[in-house]
Structures are given as structure tokens and as C-alpha cells.
Structure 1
Amino acid sequence: MTLKRILPIVFLLISTFSFAQPNDEKREQIKQLKVAFITTELNLSKEEAEKFWPIYNTFEEKQFEMRHEKMRNLKKRMDGESVDKMSEKEAATLLAQMEETEEKMFQLRKKLSSDLRPVIGSVKILKLKKAEDDFNRKLIKQIKENRK
């Protein structure tokens, strides 16, 4: 199936999301759409896909956990006007924690690249990055349109 046929289907499915669904269910649906999108964009062989998806899924899970923990920590520390009431020392500590999380996420991305290089090569790793960015942009656009 060509990309021109798959994309409208993918975005039709996204547009049918009910925002009243539990977060886990929405997350799973988005994950399925992302898998289909990436599979199409990378045009993985069967052998590549068998090695690629376990590595990528592990990366995605770790990345989600890091982002979730980061956001929980930020929300807890920055609710309301608490930033204005923070001492310089508290703000510096929070900033250092944020920077540490960003560094861990960067290292995780580097590990993904090094783990995938022997499996799919550098060109497809670049295509993966582009596919992730394209998927995220289209997903955000679709969500904005659904809110109107």
C-alpha cells in the first residue's frame, strides 16, 4: 500500500479518537498508529523489523518513563506561584534536575542510534528521526483541529 493511501487512513483514525477515553487506551492507539507510520516510512524488511521493533519499543518505554517522571516532578514543584516563591538555591536544584533529565534523554537517543546502526544503517536512522518528527507534527495538528 502506498504512503498516499496509508496517510489518510492513519489520520482518519486519529481524528476518530474520543478524548474521553482513558489515557492508557489513547496512548496505545497512538502507539499503533505510530508503528504503522514508521513501518511505512522506513520500509523495513522482515529481518530488519524483527530486530528493529524490540530495540525501538524499549527506547520508547524508557523515554516515556523519563518524560512522565520529569513532568510529574515539574508539576509538583512549579504549581501555581511556587516558582516566584522559590529561593535561588531551590530553583538551581530544580534546574539541575531538569538538565540531568534532558542529558539522560539525549544519552538514551544516542544509545538508540548505536543499537540500531547495525540493524538498519545510518540512512534509515535518519529516516526514523524524520518519521517521528512528521508523525508528531501531524498528530499535534490533528489534535488542534479536533479541539476547534
Structure 2
Amino acid sequence: MKIKNILPLLLFLLSLSFYGQNDRIDEKREKIKAFKVSFLTTELELTSTEAEKFWPIYNTFDDKQFELRHSKMKTYLSKLNDDNINSISEKEAATLLSQIESTDKELFILKEKYMANLKKVLSAKKILKLKKSEDDLYRKLLKQYKEKASKN
């Protein structure tokens, strides 16, 4: 599996670890968001006009993606531990699988709309730079998470 396919999964798993700390999830998410804004602003070298148009698009996408992944996927994952998988019926498994596929489709459609909106604001080169910068950011966050986990 390629690293670019693993990174979103790792970020998703990283964000799930925050669920054990519900009272601090918003605080941690805001810190990550602030770090992301700072990092991407530096990496993308946006003009003030680009930044003015880019950030509302990016933040809307990021919030909707977070909502989809965390509200729906959290429900699915709670049903996917080993004990539950072994005890659910085939019909329940098919329903759960259908729900996961539906959420994946919603995410895909969301990404398509996001990309179409980005193309109105940024050049193709800057969009590619955004993708690379996000991957770099996720690597940094994962590294920080691993370092913090190894200290505990």
C-alpha cells in the first residue's frame, strides 16, 4: 500500500484516539486546526486574494469531512470490534457494510465538489502543492503523536 493511501487512514485513527478524551476533543481539534492553517499558509504561499477565497472553501470541506468521518464512522467502528462482528447476523453485517459504502460515497462526492471549488480559486500547481503539504502535515502530526505516545 502506498504512503499516500495510508496517511488518511492513520490520521483518521489518530483522530479516533481523541474520543477517549471527549472533554478535550474540541480543544485538540482547534490546536490541530491552528497548526494546519499556519503550516498550509506557509507552504502554499497564498496571495491575500487567494487566501481570502481559499480558506472558506478549505474550512467548509474540512468541517464536513470531519463530521462525516467522526459522526458516522464512529458508529460503524463501535460495531466492528471482534466480539460484535462474530455475534452479528449476516443481515446486520450487510446493513452495516451498506452504511459504510454510503458514507464513502458521501466523502467522495464531497471531495469532488471541494476540488471543483478549489480549481476556481487556485492554479493546478497550487492544488498539487496543497495535497503534498497536507500529506507532509499528516506525517508531522503522526510523528508528534508517536513521540508523545512513546513518552507515556
Q: Distance in 1 between matches of 2:35 and 2:48?
A: 19
State how many pairs are aligned: 129
The one-letter code of the counterpart of 1:136 is: Y
Q: CA deviation at 1:70?
A: 2.2
TM-score by length of 1: 0.81
Amino acid at match of 2:58: Y
Provide the residue aligned with 2:105 in structure 1: 103
Query: Letter of the aligned partner of 2:69 in structure 1?
Result: R
Bigger helix fraction = 2
Supply the distance in 2 between the matched residues of 1:96 and 1:49 (Cα, whole angstroms). Answer: 38
Query: 1:79: how far off?
Result: 4.4
Measured in 2, the distance between the counterparts of 1:86 and 1:35 equals 42
**For the residues of structure 1 that align with 2:57 and 2:130, how far apart are their CA atoms?**
13
Partner amino acid, structure 2, of 1:104: E
Identity of aligned residues (%): 53
Equivalence map 1:71-110=2 (5 Å)? 71-79=73-81, 81-110=83-112
Matched, 1:119 2:121: yes
Unaligned runs of 5+ in 1: 1-19
| Cα deviation, residue 78, structure 1 | 2.8
TM-score normalised by length of structure 2: 0.79
Choose from 133, 143, 146 the match for 1:144: 146
- In the TM superposition, 1:1-148 aligns within 5 A as 22-79=24-81, 81-148=83-150
**Once the 2 structures are TM-superposed, how far is the Cα of residue 80 of structure 1 from its aligned partner?**
5.5
| Shift >6 Å, 4+ stretches | none
Distance in 1 (CA, whole Å) between partners of 2:82 and 2:120 is 48
Question: 1:3-54 CA deviation, whole Å, 9 max, x = no partner?
Answer: xxxxxxxxxxxxxxxxx88111111011000011111111100000000000
Bigger Cα Rg? 1
The answer to which of 68-77 and 29-38 deviates more is: 68-77
* Secondary structure of residue in 2 paired with 1:44: coil
Q: Structure 2: which amino acid aligns with 1:113? A: M
Aligned 8 A contact 2:118 2:127 in 1: yes
Secondary structure of the structure 2 residue equivalent to 1:50: helix
- Which amino acid letter does the alignment assign opposite residue 73 of structure 2? M
What is the root-mean-square deviation of aligned Cα atoms in Å? 1.5
State the 1:75 CA deviation: 3.5
Q: Deviation of residue 115 (structure 1)?
A: 0.3
AA paired with 1:125?
A: I
